[in-house]
């Protein structure tokens, strides 16, 4: 009887902890595609993709360049693509759209959020694969506490994601063609909160040291707490962010998992 009672109490404790964790929840972001590898066995390649879990909807942000590499990394990282509800494509470049068709063959029960500037034929192909698509032009809440910046920029139009968390805003970028500082300003315009973390491609590879100093100063003026520069940011430019942010620089690469409270 004593052992039964102890077993019962243990079960209650475990269930309580489980439901408490579920209620509070953590957001978990796994990098599936990037220029560098973080986890052993993963394959790096030019491009970007990440999986966002713990939000109201599970989101795949961008899909990398080569479908074979995306699928290999998904397998190695044991990422469950059947749970994805939404796909967000940042912009119409192959290093961010390349794996979309392969993903839709695995899971077509999703809504794909595309910048409004995508040609109608692209949405048509998504429909042919039995998925839904939604054009995005203005800032919009795509699910609870997750926003698109809307389509920004001139020559290359692009959307980024903004997550509203208890730590502040988390901004996820594809390539930042409209300008990373302008994207951060738009994020703060949507949600008037501090920027806890920004990560993704910043497209700064051709920026001089003087230009980078001005951008880093803008980051600091905007109150950016943590930085995870990767992909098209440029190796020298990434190192400048790393030196400036020190322990608050978030190393990226395929297999990197970033977690934060809702």
Structure confidence by residue, pLDDT tens digits, 11-28: 433 344 333 333 345 999
Write b or e for each residue in 32-54: b if 16 or more Cβ atoms lie within 10 A of its Cβ, otherwise e. bbbbbbbeeebbbbebbbbbbbb
Within a domain: 9: no
In a domain, 141, yes or no: yes
Mean pLDDT throughout 183-189? 98
**pLDDT for the residue numbered 11:** 46
CB 80 within 8 A of CB 32: no
Tell me whether residue 79 is in a domain: yes
- Percentage with pLDDT > 70 across the chain: 90
> Is 181 domain-assigned?
yes
pLDDT the model gives residue 16: 40
7 within domain boundaries = no
* pLDDT attached to residue 25: 57
Per-residue model confidence as pLDDT tens digits over 122-164: 999 999 999 999 999 999 999 999 999 999 999 999 999 999 9
Residue 119: predicted pLDDT: 86
Count of structural domains, the chain: 1
> 1 lies in a domain?
no
Within a domain: 17:
no
pLDDT digits (tens, 9 = 90+) for 234-246: 999 999 999 999 9
Mean of the per-residue pLDDT values of the chain: 92
- The pLDDT tens digits of the residues spanning 208-254 come to 999 999 999 999 999 999 999 999 999 999 999 999 999 999 999 99
Domain extent at residue 91 = 26-261
CATH code, domain carrying 43: 3.60.15.10
Please report whether residue 21 resides in a domain.
no
* Higher pLDDT, residue 12 or 188: 188
Asked if pLDDT for residue 111 goes beyond 60, the answer is yes
pLDDT value of residue 118: 93
């Amino acid at each position: 009887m004593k052992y039964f009672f102890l077993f019962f109490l243990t079960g209650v404790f475990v269930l309580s902890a489980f439901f408490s964790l579920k209620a509070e929840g953590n957001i978990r972001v796994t990098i599936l595609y990037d220029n560098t590898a973080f986890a052993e066995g993963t394959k790096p390649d030019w491009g970007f993709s990440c999986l966002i879990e713990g939000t109201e909807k599970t989101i795949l942000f961008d899909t990398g360049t080569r479908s074979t590499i995306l699928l290999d990394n998904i397998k190695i990282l044991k990422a469950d693509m059947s749970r994805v509800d939404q796909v967000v494509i940042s912009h119409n470049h192959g290093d961010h759209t390349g794996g979309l068709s392969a993903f839709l063959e695995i899971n077509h029960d999703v809504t794909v959020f595309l910048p409004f500037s995508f040609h109608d034929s692209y949405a048509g192909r998504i429909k042919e694969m039995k998925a839904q698509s939604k054009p995005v032009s203005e800032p919009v809440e795509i699910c609870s506490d997750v926003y698109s910046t809307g389509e920004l920029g001139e020559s290359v139009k692009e959307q980024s994601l903004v997550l509203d968390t208890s730590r502040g805003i988390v901004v996820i970028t594809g390539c930042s063609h409209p300008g990373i500082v302008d994207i951060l300003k738009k994020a703060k315009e949507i949600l008037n909160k501090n920027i806890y973390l920004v990560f993704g491609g910043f497209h700064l590879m051709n920026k001089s040291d003087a230009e980078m100093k001005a951008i880093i100063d803008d980051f600091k003026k905007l109150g950016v707490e943590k930085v995870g520069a990767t992909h098209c940011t440029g190796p020298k430019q990434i190192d400048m962010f790393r030196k400036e942010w020190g322990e608050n620089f978030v190393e990226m690469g395929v297999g990197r998992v970033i977690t934060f409270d809702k």
